Structure 1
Amino acid sequence: MALHVAQYTLDVTDLDLMAGFWSAGLDYRVERGDDGNAKLHPTPERPAGTPTVWLQASDTPKRGKNRLHLDLVADGDPGGGGTAAARAGRPARRRRPVR
């Protein structure tokens, strides 16, 4: 069963600026929440399964790299996480060094 990205999540300090930037760049529709965050949705012309973007408002400016959070779902997992969460909990296989 394959995994795919369902949503990208970004922390932002200026929600209006970033919603405008990302929605224009991606041609996404903005849905503002009552919680001070925004969700960007792909237009209906996009293929099914095109990821959404969640802009999470943050009062604290970040120094250095801004981390990106990916929400993964497994094909055939309508709950959106059972199999993906199980895979995420498994340790990665170690590879032997090439000599």
Structure 2
Amino acid sequence: MAAYLIADVDITDAAVFEQYRLEVPATEARFGGHYLARGGATRVLEGDWEPHRLVIIEFPDMAALTAWYDSPEYERLKQIRFRCAHTRIIALEGMPA
């Protein structure tokens, strides 16, 4: 069953974040991940949420998502992201069709 990484990214250093943004897709692809949405316009329909840059990545399953997130390849990129953004990330397991 598919799993989704949903991130709300508040970029604090755009130049450093650009390095992260350019390198991360290749690491996700190795684990079967692909973008469903990233960085598009948002509209809050209910509540007091003020999203920044939203990203949704689909993985084949939660095991693949977790393997990517915990991988040495992504660990290096996480350290870059920690320096240039404040991020809220959740993993959501999909429902069978």
After TM superposition, the score normalised by the length of structure 1 is: 0.30
Report the structure, 1 or 2, having the larger helix content.
Answer: 2
Return the structure number with greater relative CO, CA threshold 8 A, min gap 6.
Answer: 2
TM-score by length of 2: 0.30
